[in-house]
Amino acid sequence: MIKGIKTSKTKDLDQEKDRIIGAYENGNEGPLLFVSAGIHGNEPSGVTALKKVFETLEREKPKISGKVIGVYGNRTALEKGVRYIDEDLNRTWTKKNVESQEKDTNEKREMFAIIEILHKHSASRFAKRYFLDCHTTSSASLPYISVQEVGDNDAWAHRFPVYIIRGFSDIVFGCIDHYLSRIGVTGFVFEGGQHDSKNAIVYHEGMIWLALAEACGLDLKKLSEFPKAVEKLSEQKENQKTFEIIHRHSLEDDDQFKMQPGYENFQSINKGEFLATHNGEKILSTWDACIFMPLYQAQGNDGFFVVEEIEGK
Ligand SMILES: [Zn+2]
């Protein structure tokens, strides 16, 4: 095929080489680390971070066990810089959709192209399989992990130095991490910060390096320069806390919703605090807790969440 000429979009999406950002191994047995980035097309920072990591791996050829692979999520949406084309790619991974094999939307085609790669990296080929799904948020945020409490996901998540949210995946259906957990891959979603913040790229890079060290035994000290991104992410260590979702403020498609300005993820809120306006009504907090994922973009069905710290873990 001549470069720049595409025969058809569907065919193009199926091309494995265009899906893979990078892959690295030394031929040693061991685990698989599967990193996905840009499942939401308006969240490219994980893609940038993966490119940086693979550049270093290719240049320095450090020793690892097993294999790391980085893949584009919603490739078409990434190219256009939009969150999605037909539907949210982080809501398509239901059992029903996967079993149906139906490719009637752009996102389902993207989903099956990713599944194809997972099939080629089956459980039988690796000692264990891990995943890391890279995202960013619409509001300013500290980096954090969102973990579904399935298998050993939660214990794995607690090996990393950032805030951990439990239970988000349980109230939202069809996420890629649901699917991966369902097929026995251990991992979590990592949110690196606000969509276009430079820190988000750094935090993603740091998390990918740490996951490589934890999963594939990469000795970071043996790289010609210890990754600055890891140092930066490790500064979060004192922030390691675990939170649980206690409330979801959901929206219907045509609702008018406006969050009060200035809320950051994990910001404390108090009872009686004016949080948002929903269809002309003031929403006041009934909690002394923390705000989570306040909505500051046009698309989305969740106005905000309320989370509470879990003591002792
Ligand atoms: Zn996302």
Task: Report the separation in Å between the CA atom of 136 and the middle of ligand 1, taken as the mean of its atom positions.
Answer: 5
CA of 35 to the centre of ligand 1 (A): 14
Say if strands 289-292 and 302-309 run parallel, antiparallel, or are unpaired.
Answer: antiparallel
Half-sphere exposure of residue 131: CA atoms within 13 angstroms, side-chain side: 28
pLDDT at 312: 67
Ligand 1 centroid to Cα of residue 22, in Å, is 20
- Residue 279 burial class via C-beta count within 10 angstroms: exposed 0-12, middle 13-18, buried 19 and up: exposed
**How close is the Cα of 81 to the center of ligand 1, in Å?**
13
As a whole-number percent, the residues of the chain with pLDDT over 90 amount to 82
Q: Classify residue 251 by burial, with Cβ atoms within 10 Å: 0-12, 13-18, 19+.
A: middle
Question: How far does the centroid of ligand 1 lie from the alpha carbon of residue 137, in Å?
Answer: 7
Would you place residue 238 in the very low, low, confident or very high pLDDT band (cuts 50, 70, 90)?
confident
pLDDT in tens, 140-187: 888 999 999 999 999 999 999 999 999 887 778 899 999 999 999 999
State the pLDDT at residue 298.
73
- pLDDT score recorded for residue 13: 59
Distance (angstroms) between ligand 1 centre and the Cα of 193 equals 10
Tell me, in angstroms, the distance from the centre of ligand 1 to residue 284's CA: 27
Q: What distance in Å separates the CA atoms of residue 180 and residue 8, rounded to the nearest whole number?
A: 29
Is a pLDDT exceeding 80 seen at residue 5? Answer: no
Say whether pLDDT at 206 is over 80: yes
For position 296, what pLDDT does the model report? 84
Q: 62 CA to middle of ligand 1, Å?
A: 31
Instruction: Tell me the pLDDT tens digit for each residue of 27-45.
Output: 999 999 999 999 999 999 9
**pLDDT (average), residues 97-119:** 97
| 268 pLDDT higher than 50 | yes
Q: Are 290 and 243 in contact (CB under 8 A)?
A: yes
What local confidence, expressed as pLDDT, does residue 297 receive?
A: 77
What average pLDDT does this structure show over 221-244? Answer: 90
Say yes or no to pLDDT of 120 above 70.
yes
Q: What number of CA atoms fall less than 13 Å from residue 156's CA on the CB side?
A: 28
Give the mean model confidence (pLDDT) for residues 66-86. Answer: 97
Query: Which pLDDT score is estimated for 313?
Result: 61
* Per-residue model confidence (pLDDT) at position 292: 93
For the whole model, what pTM was predicted?
0.89
Determine the pLDDT at residue 169: 74
Sign, CA dihedral 182-186-191-196, equals negative
Q: What percent of the chain has pLDDT over 70?
A: 94
Q: pLDDT tens digits for 282-303?
A: 999 999 999 998 988 776 788 9
Determine the pLDDT at residue 138: 82
Interval between CA 55 and ligand 1 midpoint (Å): 24
Statement: residue 4 has pLDDT above 50? no
Whether 26 has a pLDDT exceeding 80, the answer reads yes
> Which pLDDT score, from 0 to 100, does residue 311 have?
78
Q: How far is the CA of 1 from the centre of ligand 1 (A)?
A: 33
Query: How many Å lie between the centroid of ligand 1 and the Cα of residue 3?
Result: 30
Give the residue ranges of DSSP H helices in 31-163.
Answer: 45-60, 75-80, 95-100, 106-120, 153-157
CB burial of residue 38 (10 Å; 0-12, 13-18, 19+):
buried
User: What's the pLDDT at 301?
Assistant: 82
On the question of pLDDT at 8 being above 60, the answer is no
Distance 135 CA to ligand 1 centre (A): 4
Q: Ligand 1: distance of its center to the CA of 174 in Å?
A: 13
